Amino acid sequence: MTGSPSSTRGPSSARGPVGSSPTAWGRELDRVRLEVAGDVAAAATACDAVEGVASADTDGQSVVCLLRGAAAALPTLLGAVAASGATVTGVEVREPDLEDVFLHLTGRALRD
């Protein structure tokens, strides 16, 4: 699944605003957003321990993970959240698209 990137993003560090890191997109990392009921911090810690996860951060009631091969890792991420005592109530998987890579390389959206 792919979505459209935000046109208001600019250059940021790899640990910038959740899900908006051009550096992460430039490395072709997928983004998995898990809506969570329960202890979001514990769920993020559990996801961060999953092999292949580059980062797992909280964003409200969500855990946002950056990783390669999200489709293959999704069952492991869901299991990690369940083991943390939290419950997943929603899932969004987003792969980088050409505009994300362009933004990473230039620091500007295509329409700037």
CATH code where residue 72 lies: 3.30.70.100
Domain count for the chain, please give it: 1
Residue 109 lies in a domain: no
Q: Is residue 36 part of a domain?
A: yes
Is the residue at 28 inside a domain?
yes
pLDDT by residue for the chain (112 residues), tens digit each? 434 333 222 223 333 344 444 344 445 789 999 999 999 999 999 999 999 999 999 999 999 999 999 999 999 999 999 999 999 999 999 987 777 667 667 776 666 5
In a domain? residue 39: yes
41 domain residue, yes or no: yes
3-state secondary structure 75-93: HHHHHHHHHCCCEEEEEEE
Domain that holds residue 69: 22-97
Q: Helix, strand, coil % (nearest 5) of the chain?
A: 35, 25, 40
In a domain, 75, yes or no: yes
Question: Strands 62-67 and 30-37: what pairing?
Answer: antiparallel
pTM of the predicted structure, to 2 decimals: 0.67
Q: Report yes or no on 61 lying in a domain.
A: yes
